[in-house]
Amino acid sequence: MICRFAKSIFQNKENGFCVFVYHTEDGTVPAAARDGYYKGADIAFTAVGKYLPDTDSVEVDMQGKWVKGKRGLQLQVENFEEILPQTEEGILGYLSSGMVKGIGPRTAELIVKSFGKRTFDVLDHYPDSLLEIRGISQKKLDAILLSYHGGHAMRDLAAYLTPFKVTPRKIEKIYEHFGADALETVKNRPFELCEISGFGFLTVDEIAKANKCRPNDPMRIEGCIHYCFEQETQDGHLYVNKQQFQKAVHEQLNYGYSGEVVTEREVYNGIYKLFSQKELYYEDGALYPAKFYGFECGAAKRLVSLLMEKETGNIQVDLLLEEAQRELGILLSAKQSEAVKKAFSHKVSIITGGPGTGKTTVQKVLLYINEKIGGGTVLLTAPTGRASRRMVESTGFSEGFTMHSVLGLTNDEENEGSAEMLDADFIIADEFSMADMALSFQFFNHIRQGARLVLVGDVNQLPSVGPGNVFRELVQCGVIPVTVLDMVFRQKENSRIAMNAQRMQQNDASLDYGTDFVFREAKDAAEAAEMIQKIYQEAVERLGVEKVQVLSPYRKKGEVSVNALNEVLWNMVNPEPEPEAGQDTALKKKEKNVFRIGDRIIHNRNKNGISNGDIGFVTDIFTDEDDMELTRLEFSDGRHVEYNSDELDMVEHSYATTVHKSQGSEYPVVILPWLPMFYKMLRRNILYTAVTRAKEQVVIVGSKKAIYMAIHNTDSDKRNTRLGERVIREFYAAQEREKKEAV
């Protein structure tokens, strides 16, 4: 049946399901399916299906069956084919419709003016001819051809994969990876999908089962091994117990089958194959992915090499300490003075302490003394952009950098980074508890011999998001000089935040509540969400949206999750504006994300000079001279980027964010839901990290019982890592070598 799109009734951007109304001249449409309210010359009917065309610029040949639905008799579409227009007017309408990315109304007019009815023939057989059109570069042509040729293939791929709950973005990634062979690959060699980042084994396994692939296929076993390792690394582990791991893989491979379809021997052979290919490494009962073994061993070796470097010259630290305090107008505690002395008597040292214990003051003194002794070039760095900028603001130093940027690591995926050593003689790395094993290895490996390194952080905060527990391991190994700052100096301003944080670490749940540390009781998530909205609105009206942050332990679970709160706070703070006469409201869509001018957003990757976790605002949504729809984002220090719709998956709303994502940040006001429903997240280090993000006020909404449970729960800090052990072994081995050389 030939028809044309009329209007949308429902469309799910997540799975592609849609309910659309179409018009047709085909008289075979059953009377019960015809829209009786439609008064046009042709026939209106409702169609349901996946990824149906939603533009009236093309005719569609649909096949399916008539079924009874909510709107009466509907066409359940089984397959369809778009019929490209043949007239110049029709071609212009098709190209102007937005169906081909990279071509807007102005560019479409130029193309049709140049090629007329031959336009589709040119696109199919002579695409380079489009480079003659003003505004079409090679990059833009590539995007146009990918969209034009990929449209049908993408729809076929989507129709096949959506029953397996594969998202549209992942379907795009499959097509980008395999091209025209994508559907054939999915059907006949599904485990090759595991080559694509973010494509889970469980989804691939379901596709493989549907295509009757052998359950003991070596590619399936290998894919499951990688999947089980990913589960462990997501929990922060660098290695697994070999026997337990082998059992877990065996159970996963046989899950859902009536009998044993994969033997333990086949699992062993799969692990051994990866071991022989040097993808895995075995040591004393521990099985490592080879890269993590290399990171752990390499980091320990390099760090000890830096630590063993001897001091040259005689630094009069005591005299310089007195001078620094006098010139800076400060008075150091005994512990703070100890931290300074250790930093200038050892090439590597560590400073740790909670909020308000004076870590920033120590850094100011370190910078002052380094300048006085001519200690060379200084580098201030931290794992996130916000943390590095805060170092600059608090110390008064000229500039700070993210660890990713100074190492030449351009994104979150592992890469080689820069081969050059860091141009710094004195390095202070703040918020180091956030540095995972991979980043720490790269960092230590790029510090030149003889440089002075001071690691600063709060050992009681959450460990890194990535695998490893580097800062805690280094603090506890016992061979690196460590100073623990344990005196809280904030006695007036926001004193309860610092004092309560200290009590939490002492296993003391008798917190002191007041104007800067507020508790509001809520009986459940629904009541908590309602209270948070009111508290947030009042705080934003008083201070501004940039100074108030809602944190939640969960991203997706319930009414007080990040996703749920973001939706309601966004519509409350920045509602959709009324469209001007004759104009559509300016919106930008990417899957289920919608952005408006004025939205507060957070960047979720290290890219384009913007760091993962940087917060900014949408300042404009516009179409450029090449008909590309762009969203302009502005971050602190005047940094800005412009993204097209395909790049907006690097951005999400930030009215609420996770506690994990907030690490390295500080906000004047923090609002925190804390309920018994968070039972898996009721841990001391999560509560402590959330509370210590607040500079002036924290408001906890929920249950005091949940607070007590978290303070007394310290069971979750253990991660499988041997970094501390390796540092100890390397240190004593280096000492033995020195003794032999001395003899």
For the purposes of burial, counting CB atoms within 10 Å of the CB of 343, is it exposed (0-12), middle (13-18) or buried (19 or more)?
buried
Prediction pTM value:
0.76
Q: In what order do the strands lie in the sheet with 600-603?
A: 640-644, 629-635, 615-623, 600-603, 651-653
Query: How high is the mean pLDDT of the chain?
Result: 88
Q: What does the pLDDT look like over 303-345, one tens digit per residue?
A: 999 999 987 777 889 999 999 999 999 999 999 999 999 999 9
Distance from C-alpha of 381 to C-alpha of 360, rounded to nearest angstrom: 13
Higher pLDDT, residue 730 or 68: 730
What pLDDT does residue 581 have? 47
* Buried b / exposed e along 606-643 (16+ C-beta atoms within 10 A): bbbebbbbbbbbbeebeeeebbbbbbebebeeeebbeb
Higher pLDDT, residue 324 or 495: 324
Q: Which amino acid type is present at position 430?
A: D
What is the Cα Rg of the chain in Å? Answer: 30
Average of per-residue pLDDT across 189-194: 83
Distance from C-alpha of 573 to C-alpha of 567, rounded to nearest angstrom: 10
Q: What is the DSSP letter of 383?
A: S
Nearest 5°: phi and psi at 346?
A: -140, 145
Instruction: Report the first-to-last Cα separation within the chain, whole angstroms.
Output: 94
313: which residues sit within 8 A by CB, 6+ positions away? none
Nearest 5°: phi and psi at 101?
A: -65, 140
CA distances 375 to 315, 344, 371, 424, 597, Å, are 10, 10, 6, 10, 47
486 by DSSP, 3-state: which? Answer: coil
For residues 236 and 718, the answer to whether their CB atoms sit within 8 Å is: no
Under the banding of pLDDT at 50, 70 and 90, the label for residue 717 is low
608 by DSSP, 3-state: which? Answer: coil
442 by DSSP, 3-state: which? Answer: helix
Q: What does the pLDDT look like over 4-27, one tens digit per residue?
A: 999 988 887 666 788 999 999 999
What pLDDT does residue 90 have? 81
Tokens in use for 346? 């050892």
Q: DSSP string covering 132-178, please?
A: GSTT--HHHHHHHHHHHHHHHHHHHHHHHHGGGT--HHHHHHHHHHH
What pLDDT does residue 518 have? 96
Tokens in use for 348? 């590597």
Does pLDDT of 369 surpass 90?
A: yes
Please state, as a whole number, how many other Cβ atoms lie within 10 Å of the Cβ of residue 71.
15
Q: What does the pLDDT look like over 13-64, one tens digit per residue?
A: 666 788 999 999 999 999 999 988 888 889 999 999 887 888 887 888 888 8
For the purposes of burial, counting CB atoms within 10 Å of the CB of 572, is it exposed (0-12), middle (13-18) or buried (19 or more)?
middle
Distance from C-alpha of 158 to C-alpha of 165, rounded to nearest angstrom: 10
Under the banding of pLDDT at 50, 70 and 90, the label for residue 590 is very low
Q: Which amino acid type is present at position 662?
A: S
Distance from C-alpha of 292 to C-alpha of 678, rounded to nearest angstrom: 31
Centroid of chain to Cα 140: 28
Residues in the chain: 743
Tokens in use for 211? 């295509």
The three state secondary structure string of 722-735 is: CHHHHHHHHHHHHH
For residues 206 and 163, the answer to whether their CB atoms sit within 8 Å is: no
Tokens in use for 36? 């009786």
Bridge partners, residue 138, by sequence: none
Q: Which amino acid type is present at position 473?
A: E
Tokens in use for 701? 């909404």
Flag the least confident range among 213-222, 312-321, 488-497, 535-544: 488-497
Q: Which amino acid type is present at position 437?
A: M
Q: What does the pLDDT look like over 263-314, one tens digit per residue?
A: 999 999 999 999 999 999 999 999 999 999 999 999 999 999 999 998 777 7
Higher pLDDT, residue 199 or 610: 610
Q: Which amino acid type is present at position 643?
A: Y
- Provide, rounded to the nearest whole percent, the portion of the chain with pLDDT above 90: 57
For the purposes of burial, counting CB atoms within 10 Å of the CB of 152, is it exposed (0-12), middle (13-18) or buried (19 or more)?
exposed
For residues 670 and 691, the answer to whether their CB atoms sit within 8 Å is: yes
Q: What is the DSSP letter of 32?
A: G
Average of per-residue pLDDT across 571-589: 63
For residues 516 and 698, the answer to whether their CB atoms sit within 8 Å is: yes
Distance from C-alpha of 224 to C-alpha of 227, rounded to nearest angstrom: 5
β-strands 43-50, 240-241 pairing: unpaired
β-strands 17-24, 2-11 pairing: antiparallel
Short-list 580, 576, 579, 624, CA closest to 599: 576
What pLDDT does residue 206 have? 87
Tokens in use for 305? 């090499």
Under the banding of pLDDT at 50, 70 and 90, the label for residue 172 is confident
